[in-house]
Amino acid sequence: MKERIVVIGAGVIGLTTALELSRRGYLISIVAKELPGDEARFYTSPYAGAFFYHLDSLASRGWLAQLQDIASYYEFLRVAQEPGSGVSERVAEVYVPRMSMKETGYDGPWFKDLVRNYEMIDPREYPVGAAGDDIVFAFRYTGFTINPVQYLHYLLYRCAQSGVNYVRRTVGSLEEARTLFLDGDDFVEADLVVNCAGIGGFDLNTTDRQNRLPVKGQTLLVENVARKLTIVEAMDAEHAAESLYVVPRAGYGTLLTGTYLYHDDSLDVDEELTERIKKRALRYAPELVESGYMRNPKRLVEVRQFVGIRPGREGGVNVSRDGWRIHNYGSAHSGYQNSYGLANRVARLVQEGTVRSRL
C-alpha cells in the first residue's frame, strides 16, 4: 500500500506539496491551523504579490534554485489556462536602475533563455516617469500574476478532487501531527509527516530556530487596472530596500508593493511608505489613473492595505528528510515561484526513503 502522509500547512507550499504527492498516488491528509479564506499574522500566502521574477544572472544563481523555479514557471503558465484558477498570463517588464545593479558584466536574468518571449526593452520605450532613475538594463518576457486567495482555493479544490482530506488543527510537534492522518471518521498513524508550516516550521523543528528570518512586506490593493506587470528594482537611494512592483490581478484591480524589512514580524502599516509606493507606481504605470484605459478612475481607489511576513530562513529553504520527518519551509519571497519545484523535491525524498526501506 502507498504511504500515508500528513502534510502540515495549507499555504501555497503545503497545498502544492499535498497535490503533487497525491498525484503520485500517496494518501494525503493536510493538518493546518489556517486554511484558504483565513487571515492570520503568520499565514503568509494570502498576502503575496504574486509573480515570477528574480534578477540574478545565470552565473550567480544556483542550479537547484533554477530547476525549482523553471518547473513552477511552466506549470503556472498551464494553470493560467484554467478559468477560475486566479493565475493570469501577463507581459512582465523589468527596469533596473544603476544603483541596484550589483553584478558587473550583467547580461540578463538567469531565466532569459528559458522563459517565453524574452527581449530587451529599447530605451525609447521606457515610461516617461522613468527619466531620472538612470535605468541601465530593462527587459520583458511572458510572465504571470497570481491572485493568491483565489489560487489557494483552487489548490484546495484540486487537492480534494485528488482525494486529499484536510483537518483544521494546531499541532505542537511533528510527533503529534503523525497521529492525525484522517482515515474515514478516525485518526490513524501516518508513515510520514511533511512540515510545510511556513514561519511556524521553525517551532516544529526547534533545532533550526536560530535560522528563523521573518521578512515583512507591505502592499496596497487598488481598484485601478494596470496594463502589465511592472518591476523596478530599488531606485531611491534614501530607501534602498524598496523596489516597485505593479501587479495586475485576475479579476482586475492591481497590487502595489515592493518592500523587504528583514527580521521584522510586526504588523503595523507605514503610511509614508504607502505614499512612496503610490507615487512610484504612477510614474511607471500612469494608465492606472487614465480613464482612456479600462475606464480607470482619475485617482487611485484603495481597497485595502496588507502586511505579510515572508517565511525566510538563513541559508535558504529547508527541504530535507530525517526518517519519517520531511521539511519544506523557509521559502521567503518566492514560495509561489518555486512551489512546484519544491514539491517535486519532496516527492523525490519520499520516494528515495521508500526505495531504501524496501532494499
Q: Report the interface residues with ligand FAD, using CB under 6 A.
A: 8-14, 31-34, 42-45, 47-51, 170-171, 196-198, 200, 203-204, 217, 219, 257, 308, 310-311, 329, 331-337
Closest CB to ligand FAD among 8 and 70? 8
Closest CB to ligand FAD among 87 and 235? 87
- Shortest CB 95 distance to ligand FAD, Å: 17
- Shortest CB 252 distance to ligand FAD, Å: 18
Closest CB to ligand FAD among 136 and 167? 167
Closest CB to ligand FAD among 47 and 95? 47
Query: 49 and 145 in contact (C-beta within 8 Å)?
Result: yes
Closest CB to ligand FAD among 132 and 251? 251
- Shortest CB 33 distance to ligand FAD, Å: 4
Q: Residues near 192 by Cβ (< 8 Å), separated by ≥ 6? A: 3, 4, 5, 6, 324, 325, 326, 350, 353
Closest CB to ligand FAD among 127 and 143? 143
Per DSSP, the chain holds a count of helices (H) and strands (E) of 7, 17
CA dihedral 101, 135, 131, 300 (to 10 degrees): -70
**Ordered DSSP codes for 67-126:** HHHHHHHHHHHHHTTSTTSSEEEEEEEEEEEGGG--STT--S-TTTTTSTT-EEPPGGGS
> Please, where are the H alpha helices in 108-208?
148-161, 174-178, 201-204
Angle, vertex CA 84, rays to CA 78 and CA 88, nearest 5: 50
User: Which of 155, 146, 185, 208 has its CA nearest to residue 334?
Assistant: 146
**Ordered DSSP codes for 10-62:** -SHHHHHHHHHHHHTT-EEEEEESS-TT---TT--GGG---B------TTTS-
Q: Give the distance, in angstroms, between the CA of residue 21 and the centroid of all CA atoms in the same chain.
A: 20
- Shortest CB 8 distance to ligand FAD, Å: 5
Closest CB to ligand FAD among 30 and 235? 30
- Shortest CB 65 distance to ligand FAD, Å: 12
Count of Cβ atoms closer than 10 Å to residue 80 Cβ: 19
Closest CB to ligand FAD among 97 and 311? 311
Q: CA 154 to CA 151: how far, in whole Å?
A: 5
- Shortest CB 57 distance to ligand FAD, Å: 19
- Shortest CB 358 distance to ligand FAD, Å: 31
Q: CA 245 to CA 251: how far, in whole Å?
A: 18
User: Which of 201, 178, 197 has its CA nearest to residue 6?
Assistant: 178
- Shortest CB 104 distance to ligand FAD, Å: 27
Closest CB to ligand FAD among 47 and 137? 47
- Shortest CB 357 distance to ligand FAD, Å: 27
